[in-house]
Amino acid sequence: MMELKTSICRCCINQCSINVLVEDGKVRSVEGNPDNPQYKGYTCVKGRSQGSSLTDPARLLRPLRRRPDGTHESISSGAALDEIAAKIRRIVAEHGPRAVAAYWGTQAAVGSRPVSAPFFDAFFDAIGTNMRFDPNTIDKGGKHVAPSFLGSWGAPLQGFDAPEAILLIGINPWNTYTGLPAGSPRRWLVDQLAAGCKLIVIDPRRTEVAELASLHLQAAAGHDVPILAAMIKVILAEKLFDRDFAAQHVNGLESLTQTLQAIDVQGVANSAGLRAEDIAEAARTYARARRGYAMAGTGPHMTGQGTLVEYFVQVLETLCGRWMRAGDTIKASPSLLPPVRPRAQARAPDAHWALDGRMRMRGLKQSRAGMPVAALAEEILTPGEGQVRVLFSWGGNPSIAFPDQRRVVEALGKLELFVQIDPWYSQSASLAHYVLPPPLPLEVAASSIGTEHLALRAGYGQAMAHSQYADAVVPRPPGSDLMEEWEIFYELLVRMGYPVDVRPWGHPPSSPKIHFDAKPTTEELLTRFTAGSRVPLETVKRYPGGHIFDNHLIVVEAGDPANTDRLDIGHPEMMKMLNEAIKESAEPEDPRYPYRMLCRRANHFNNSTRKAASNKGLAYNPAYLHPEDMLDLGVDEHDEVSISSPLGVIRAIVAPDAHLRRRTVSIAFGHGSPQDPLADPAIFGSSPNRLVATDQSFDRFTGQPRMTNVPVAIRRMGFSAPAEPER
């Protein structure tokens, strides 16, 4: 029997509404849902190909336990959880709770996190460890930390609501699905441009989105901070900023103006390979628009200056008055979360940006972006009090996702207990003591709550109050032993005698926890976790294909007249770092490493998960070079090269990209063999993280190292690669 069922794709942050054709319990096809008012039939190749993953012979259907010889054997989920709980109990008793660490990765974020994160948090809260890590500190951690210096506004930014100008810095929404709202990124952007919106892109590559830009500043990598500072100087000098907003809500204008006196717009342009007139035009275009938003992506954040980049993005937004005001309606009001009460008032910067957690190296601390991922390997390898001995990895792939891969792989091998939650025998799963496979997305119920929650942050989530619920569309494979991620942490809580008290995801810290005496179902969790939401879940369920719930949208309230807090656009710490960044951008290049390695994403790869059904026959990550650089190196397309940094060397296969600036190499992360850096790149891909040092150039607040704009050398390979340097 053939049935057409609606569902929600969970391959990435876009969370497309999809139609799934099911015959006798098997998925025959996945297509976009043309009747959904937000997505209008849009999906990507990853989403359309996910049906094949359900029956992929490489899929794990039962838990695995590592044997003494390093191979794995099947084990029941009950026995695996019993053994894991016993080992954690012993290790915590001997070494304390800090010996236990956890990492949730990007697949957790886009998959089951709204349902599973409450149990994840409850389990590690019960143990008493704050050694919890996530992708924020190797992605865009500065977005979380910058408000500690600027302060924050009690209402969202204008965001996707009728922008007249958009500024995108080092981001390509065609592949990241950020920077433009959920749905078809191209269709939405073309509609805005047709309505008169101006698009400004700053990127060393002429990406697909840059092709549509009104103005593309194709700057040399690593110059984002000076360019932003130069733009702000133009805005201040020409009095293009919102003077009323600044007078009422802003401190630091004089300090910022004085610091920017040292900025020479022409000098910034010369260093970045731009024209000063184009920098000035970008500033004028953005500032003169009545509404708009700016978004910095992984490119500028991965330079090791993420906090500084994000601070100046928010300074730009503040000067241009992009914060929502009293009476403004939040068009993307979340439906399945409790209604918030935004107020049009400032909150002063924090007295201190750090939270309670402390690392044992480089003075790193826990910030609002989380614990610094880049130091986790050292926490495992460094003996002494507080040494990490246990790691849970949920929805991540540390062995190829973390910087300084050689050190990471060594660290994973030293763990007393490494648990990988993974549907595939990934590079990290092959190193784990236990591998616990969860069901795949189409086998479990879900809602759009994750995308709705993101909508309150500029550059993320939705442009409208869309919501959707989806039941599981197919059963789990016969004979499988799979546990949803929340079940794993629920069962561990029970086995270790901890109370099962969880706070729903996306709810404020002051909200009460929910206690469970018995194991619920996923459907029951979604019902309980959405209690008190702006739109009842039962109402959302009446529209299985998704719906815009635009009645009773959230309206920004007036600020408290007694509030005296102000945003600080001239914070002394940030002004000092700006001067340092300007000097660094003008430093001469090391002639031994004349190229700059840039991060890149590919729409047909699901981060480190690579499937033949979606990879268009390209199973590896090419090293893209400008054709003239290929000519200089004496290489043709498909030739092999070695790429080396002071830390290591990798093999890579070349491909041309005429949209790159000269002397750059652009390559996707999340590939390569953790055991052999010089393994055949046509089979395993190449691992740029092997070239990234964690302790040389890094964001002092998040610990995020320089993972793009990395100085490298490239040479044509014969039959052997140069040896890796000694540590």
Domain membership of residue 455 (yes or no) is no
* Residue 293 token pair: 């938003």
Q: What total number of domains does the chain contain?
A: 4
| CA dist., res. 152 & res. 492, Å (int) | 38
| CA dist., res. 572 & res. 311, Å (int) | 12
| CA dist., res. 435 & res. 481, Å (int) | 12
| CA dist., res. 170 & res. 301, Å (int) | 9
8 A C-beta contact, residue 451 and residue 13: yes
Helix axes 224-237, 265-272, angle to 10 degrees: 150
Strands 466-467 and 547-548: what pairing?
antiparallel
| CA dist., res. 32 & res. 9, Å (int) | 9
pLDDT value for 416: 98
| CA dist., res. 720 & res. 378, Å (int) | 31
Q: Are residues 163 and 276 in the same domain?
A: yes
Q: What is the CATH number of the domain that holds 16?
A: 3.30.200.210
Point out the domain boundary residue: 33, 55, 77. Answer: 55
Point out the domain boundary residue: 17, 37, 55. Answer: 55
Domain membership of residue 579 (yes or no) is no
pLDDT value for 72: 98
Domain membership of residue 345 (yes or no) is no
Q: Are residues 79 and 39 in the same domain?
A: no
**Distance from the first to the final alpha carbon of the chain:** 61
C-alpha closest to that of 157 among 366, 461, 503: 461
Q: Are residues 408 and 307 in the same domain?
A: no
pLDDT value for 719: 45
| CA dist., res. 72 & res. 70, Å (int) | 7
Q: Are residues 181 and 300 in the same domain?
A: yes
C-alpha closest to that of 10 among 334, 408, 484: 484
Output the CA–CA distances (angstroms, integers) from residue 393 to 106, 124, 125, in the order listed: 11, 13, 16
Domain membership of residue 135 (yes or no) is no
8 A C-beta contact, residue 294 and residue 286: yes
pLDDT value for 350: 87
Q: Are residues 30 and 68 in the same domain?
A: no
Domain interval for residue 40: 1-55
Q: Where are the alpha helices (DSSP H) in 496-642?
A: 522-529, 537-541, 572-585, 627-633
| CA dist., res. 202 & res. 228, Å (int) | 10
Q: Are residues 281 and 383 in the same domain?
A: no
Q: Are residues 207 and 265 in the same domain?
A: yes
Q: What are phi and psi of 22, to 5 degrees?
A: -120, 130
Domain membership of residue 362 (yes or no) is no
Q: Are residues 294 and 396 in the same domain?
A: no
| Beta bridge partners of residue 466, listed in sequence order | 548
Rg for the chain, CA atoms, rounded = 25
Domain membership of residue 49 (yes or no) is yes
Q: Are residues 105 and 181 in the same domain?
A: no
Angle CA 153–159–160, to nearest 5 = 160
pLDDT value for 107: 83
pLDDT in tens, 210-234: 999 999 999 999 999 999 999 999 9
pLDDT value for 136: 93
| CA dist., res. 709 & res. 699, Å (int) | 14
pTM: 0.95
| Beta bridge partners of residue 240, listed in sequence order | none
Q: Are residues 30 and 78 in the same domain?
A: no
8 A C-beta contact, residue 421 and residue 395: yes
Q: What is the CATH number of the domain that holds 200?
A: 3.40.228.10
Q: Where are the beta strands (DSSP E) in 234-363?
A: 250-251, 292-296, 343-344, 346-347, 354-358
Q: Are residues 214 and 100 in the same domain?
A: no
DSSP 3-state of 580: helix
pLDDT value for 353: 74
Q: What are phi and psi of 101, to 5 degrees?
A: -125, 160
Domain membership of residue 347 (yes or no) is no
Q: Are residues 408 and 269 in the same domain?
A: no
Residues contacting residue 472 through CB under 8 Å, at least 6 positions apart: 442, 443, 444, 445
Q: What is the CATH number of the domain that holds 514?
A: 3.40.50.740
Q: What is the CATH number of the domain that holds 626?
A: 2.40.40.20
Residues contacting residue 380 through CB under 8 Å, at least 6 positions apart: 101, 387, 388, 389, 391, 411, 412, 414, 415
Q: What are phi and psi of 586, to 5 degrees?
A: -95, 0
Angle CA 58–174–713, to nearest 5 = 80
Chain CA centroid to CA 483, Å: 25
pLDDT in tens, 35-67: 999 999 999 998 999 999 999 999 999 999 999
Give the mean pLDDT per block of 10 residues along the chain (727 residues): 93 94 95 97 93 93 97 98 98 98 87 90 97 94 95 96 97 94 96 98 96 97 96 98 97 96 95 97 98 96 95 98 97 94 95 82 92 97 97 96 95 98 96 97 94 89 96 96 97 97 91 95 95 96 97 97 97 94 83 95 68 67 97 96 95 96 95 86 93 94 95 82 61
Domain membership of residue 119 (yes or no) is yes
Consecutive H or E run containing 376: helix 376-381
The helix/strand count (H/E) of the chain reads as 26, 34
Residue type (1 letter), 440: L
Residues contacting residue 574 through CB under 8 Å, at least 6 positions apart: 149, 308, 311, 312
| CA dist., res. 122 & res. 498, Å (int) | 9
| CA dist., res. 351 & res. 356, Å (int) | 14
C-alpha closest to that of 187 among 331, 41, 32: 41
Alpha-carbon torsion angle 514, 516, 517, 523, nearest 10: 130
pLDDT value for 252: 97
pLDDT in tens, 248-275: 999 999 999 999 999 999 999 999 999 9
Beta carbons within 10 angstroms of residue 258's beta carbon: 11
